[in-house]
Structure 1
Amino acid sequence: MKFTMRKALGVAAAVTALTVALPSPAMASDSYHVMNTGDAFGGGIFDYSGEAYFTEHGDIVKICDTDADGYAVKMWVNLDEPHGPNLYTFTRGGEGNCATHRASDGGAYNLPENKYIGFLFCRYKDGHESECAGYRFYNDH
């Protein structure tokens, strides 16, 4: 079978059409949110003590301690605002350690739909929080 320029262009066009039609992870959903603690210590603007993720589909909230700084990270998951009525809290310490809660865990982890959910994400040590950042997302999935 002879491979011609016309066939090559047809294959290239098909690959391009498929690539454009498939959603990228960033386009896949508006329901995936990234959060960070309110600090940036140790070497740059993006060197936070913690990262967190909220996925509306399944009400998945994941927190990770990303810095060996002697602090844990703590997340308050609240109704309406970062300082609103508390639904639940959780903490994780030790660089590289993460914790996750999701709707399938039941109870408070099944977040209300069509409501704003507030997140307060902080460094945490000896019962005290510091360098907090607040977030608010509409949970409509």
Structure 2
Amino acid sequence: MKLRMGRILTGAAALAAAAVMTTGGSASAYPDPGFDWDHIFGINSDTPASGVRVYAEENGDYISVCDTAKDGYSAKVIVGEDGYSGDSYGMTASGGKGTCKTHKASDGARYNLEENNGVSLKYWAKGGDNYAYFKNDH
């Protein structure tokens, strides 16, 4: 009976290890913090970015930049606010295609965007600069 129980436990441990390895986190070009994004830039002909996508969620001030092309260039974004001199902050997704970098209000004061204020984004990877704007109204 001890031999059989040992085999069962060994098998269960192997299955658990396999499950952990197959469900391990992988980088995604579509970050999912648990909600639908209010704004996505760099995906249509109105904002023809090459190798970069920027996501914005106003509630919690989530901004994420993702690298969408295997081209050797890192995706970057600079986030600015109306009425402020200089840029609020910048981010780089430097791990290659499918990697993202995200900041949110709870990361610190500089990431806490003022409510009812305009937010400008300058983003790029390969190719020229791209610009987007939204009002942080909730």
TM over 0.5: yes
- Distance between the aligned counterparts of 2:73 and 2:112, measured in 1? 28
- Distance between the aligned counterparts of 1:133 and 1:38, measured in 2? 12
- The reply on whether 1:73 has 2:75 as its aligned counterpart is yes
Match of 2:90 in 1: 89
Q: What's the C-alpha RMSD, in Å, of the aligned pairs?
A: 2.8
In structure 2, stretches of 5+ residues that fail to align are 1-34
One-letter amino acid of the structure 1 residue matched with residue 119 of structure 2: I
Q: 1:116 aligns with which of 95, 115, 118?
A: 118
Does structure 2 conserve the Cα–Cα contact (< 8 Å) formed by 1:37 and 1:123? no
TM-score in terms of structure 1 length: 0.62
Deviations 1:65-124 (A, max 9, x none): 01010100110001129xx63000011120011111001111211111111010001116
Match of 1:11 in 2: none
- Distance between the aligned counterparts of 1:64 and 1:47, measured in 2? 11
Number of positions where the alignment pairs a residue of Structure 1 with one of Structure 2:
100
Deviations 1:43-63 (A, max 9, x none): xxx783011100001000011
Match of 2:8 in 1: none
- Distance between the aligned counterparts of 2:43 and 2:123, measured in 1? 5
Match of 1:32 in 2: 38
Would you identify which runs of 4 or more consecutive aligned residues in structure 1 move more than 2 Å? Answer: none
SS in structure 1 opposite 2:129? strand
Does structure 1 conserve the Cα–Cα contact (< 8 Å) formed by 2:42 and 2:49? no
SS in structure 2 opposite 1:86? coil
Q: 1:59 aligns with which of 58, 61, 82?
A: 61
Does structure 2 conserve the Cα–Cα contact (< 8 Å) formed by 1:80 and 1:136? no
In structure 1, stretches of 5+ residues that fail to align are 1-27, 40-45, 125-129
